[in-house]
A = this chain, B = another copy of it.
Amino acid sequence: MAEAVRHDKTARQLRLLSDALDSGRLGPVRRLVNTLSPAEIGNLLESLPPGQRSVVWGLVDAEDDGEVLLHVGDEVREGLIADMDPDEIVAAVEDLDIDDLADLVEDLPGTVIDEVLKSMDRENRERLEQVLSYPEDSAGRLMNPDVVTVRTDTTVDLVLRYLRLRGELPDHTDHLYVVSRRHQYLGRIALQALLTHDANTQINALLDDEQPAIDVGESAEEVARRFSDHDWISAPVVDDNNILLGRITIDDVVDIIREQAEHQALGAAGLDEDEDLFSPVWRAMRRRLVWLSINLATAFLAASVVGQFEGTIDKLVALAVLMPIVAGMGGNAGTQVLALMVRGLALGQVGASNIRLLLWKEVRVALLNGVMLGAVLGSIVLAWFHNLGLSLVIAVALTLNLLFAALAGVLVPVLVKRFGYDPALGSGIFLTTVTDVMGFFTFLGLATLLLMQ
């Protein structure tokens, strides 16, 4: 319900915009678009089909172009950049922060990159090259080298005078960093502390050295986790020698957290989080085909199990009617266990020390659910087919398949992770393969053993 508010608002903007576009009056479109923040414009562009997207993109204020490019997925970004002249691109990106520029630069045409580098002064060019030298999704790529540093051997008054002289501070500066002569990170001073302490106070006395610095090689995911565990607004980034290299701010962390959530939601269905809602049909098809082909292979595996029991089904067709129930219920029960395990693994809550206890708990839950649902399912089958043996077989098969589902739900994500893959993305397909295969096998196998004389 909560979502409805925003949806309605954006949908209204979309409708207004779409009406204005249809009528060809671009003046109102331009005015409408430029009341929005760059993130909102990005969102809007993603919701437009390619033709309208180009038109609206052309109407965005040039000064917002760079920020808007930062706020769209890779696939949409590619299209927007293709719509721009080299000069426009250079103008759009040259005022961006170094970390944001680093984010974009690899999507730019080679000649444009040269232009951009040429337009920068030497210091900024070196900073950009430094940031680009760190791997994607590492703290080094997230950090902004633009930090305000002070020394310990000074006073509040001197720092205030320095700040007034310096003028504007980098966005989201909540602390100044204190460094040694060799630029090693020593601690931080809250802006608040500068404001609430007497002018003669020694900076030393205000130094907060409690917050650990982030190592430049730390993963973006770990950085996000530490920010949210500790309620940080910004954090210093250092190299192996504790030399201060830059700072990471919460706004970038919020973007990471959102991207991770999208990555998981779309990744579980075999899609990329950069997928454009309006991808060209051919491209969308090819991308989905990979996933569907894997699924086709696993479906054949399950079908080949059913194939082993053709003779049994031939004698009792009711088995064909009922077998999808056993397989499907296993898949659903396993997916529940999987969802809990994936979260536990992501939060580091599941490990060697408690995996056996978790397995034991899930086995008991599966057994209880299996017995209860088996009884219900057996009764319905008895009423439907008037075959006591069949109703017993399906009750037992369901219980067994829920047990397999619990085992697979706990163990598959742990194994996927052990092999170095993201359990949120790859586990579902393995799990349902297990529950399909075992569901068909136990149901048809028991029926062959017990009902065929």
Size band of the A side of the interface?
Answer: 35 or more
Binds B, one of A41-49, A81-89, A113-121, A240-248: A41-49
Question: Nearest-CB distance from A368 to chain B (Å)?
Answer: 5
Task: Give A330-375 interface residues, CB cut-off 8 Å to B.
Answer: 332-333, 335-336, 338-340, 342-354, 357-358, 361, 364-365, 368-369, 372-373
Q: Is A386 an interface residue (CB 8 A)?
A: no
Q: A164 touching B197 by the CB < 8 A rule?
A: yes
Q: Is A450 an interface residue (CB 8 A)?
A: no
Q: B230 touching A277 by the CB < 8 A rule?
A: no
Indicate how many identical chains form the complex.
Answer: 2
Q: B230 touching A39 by the CB < 8 A rule?
A: yes
Partner of A278 from B164, B299, B361 at Cβ < 8 Å? B361
CA–CA, A251 to B251, complex, Å?
Answer: 11
Please give, as numbers and ranges, the residues of chain B lying within 8 Å of A320 by CB-CB distance.
306, 310, 313, 317, 319-320, 323
> Binary interface profile of A, 195-226, with partner B (CB < 8 Å = 1, else 0)?
11110000000000000000000111110010
Q: A277 touching B340 by the CB < 8 A rule?
A: yes
Task: Give A71-99 interface residues, CB cut-off 8 Å to B.
Answer: none
Q: B277 touching A344 by the CB < 8 A rule?
A: yes
> Binary interface profile of A, 166-210, with partner B (CB < 8 Å = 1, else 0)?
111101111000000000000000011011111000000000000
CA–CA, A317 to B320, complex, Å?
Answer: 9
Q: Is A37 an interface residue (CB 8 A)?
A: yes
Q: Is A149 an interface residue (CB 8 A)?
A: no
> Binary interface profile of A, 255-270, with partner B (CB < 8 Å = 1, else 0)?
1011011101110111
Q: B350 touching A277 by the CB < 8 A rule?
A: yes
Please give, as numbers and ranges, the residues of chain B lying within 8 Å of A160 by CB-CB distance.
195
Q: A258 touching B292 by the CB < 8 A rule?
A: no
Please give, as numbers and ranges, the residues of chain B lying within 8 Å of A166 by CB-CB distance.
196
Binds B, one of A4-12, A24-32, A54-62, A102-110: A4-12
Please give, as numbers and ranges, the residues of chain B lying within 8 Å of A307 by CB-CB distance.
321
Q: Is A18 an interface residue (CB 8 A)?
A: yes
Q: B380 touching A300 by the CB < 8 A rule?
A: yes
Q: A15 touching B352 by the CB < 8 A rule?
A: yes
Q: A317 touching B310 by the CB < 8 A rule?
A: yes
Q: Is A449 an interface residue (CB 8 A)?
A: no
CA–CA, A296 to B21, complex, Å?
Answer: 48
CA–CA, A358 to B279, complex, Å?
Answer: 10
Q: B227 touching A254 by the CB < 8 A rule?
A: yes
Which applies to chain A's interface (DSSP): helix, strand, loop or mixed? helix
Please give, as numbers and ranges, the residues of chain B lying within 8 Å of A158 by CB-CB distance.
none
Q: Is A271 an interface residue (CB 8 A)?
A: yes
Please give, as numbers and ranges, the residues of chain B lying within 8 Å of A47 by CB-CB distance.
344, 347-351, 354
CA–CA, A394 to B4, complex, Å?
Answer: 41
Q: A163 touching B321 by the CB < 8 A rule?
A: no
Please give, as numbers and ranges, the residues of chain B lying within 8 Å of A258 by CB-CB distance.
228, 257
Q: A351 touching B195 by the CB < 8 A rule?
A: no
Q: A292 touching B2 by the CB < 8 A rule?
A: no
A-B contact pairs, 25 of them (CB 8 A): A5-B222, A11-B348, A11-B351, A14-B354, A15-B353, A47-B344, A163-B196, A164-B198, A174-B233, A194-B195, A228-B251, A260-B261, A265-B339, A266-B339, A269-B336, A275-B340, A277-B340, A288-B336, A289-B369, A291-B332, A293-B376, A295-B332, A296-B329, A303-B322, A323-B324
Known contacts A4-B417, A171-B231; 14 additional CB pairs below 8 A are A6-B225, A40-B229, A172-B231, A174-B191, A228-B254, A257-B261, A261-B264, A265-B343, A266-B343, A268-B339, A281-B365, A291-B332, A292-B373, A314-B314
Chain A contact residues, CB within 8 Å of chain B: 1-7, 9-11, 14-15, 17-18, 37, 39-40, 43, 46-49, 137, 160, 163-164, 166-169, 171-174, 191-192, 194-198, 218-222, 225, 227-231, 233, 250-251, 253-255, 257-258, 260-262, 264-266, 268-271, 275, 277-279, 281-282, 284-285, 288-289, 291-293, 295-296, 299-300, 302-303, 306-307, 310, 313-314, 317-325, 327-329, 332-333, 335-336, 338-340, 342-354, 357-358, 361, 364-365, 368-369, 372-373, 376-377, 380, 417, 420, 422, 424, 436, 440
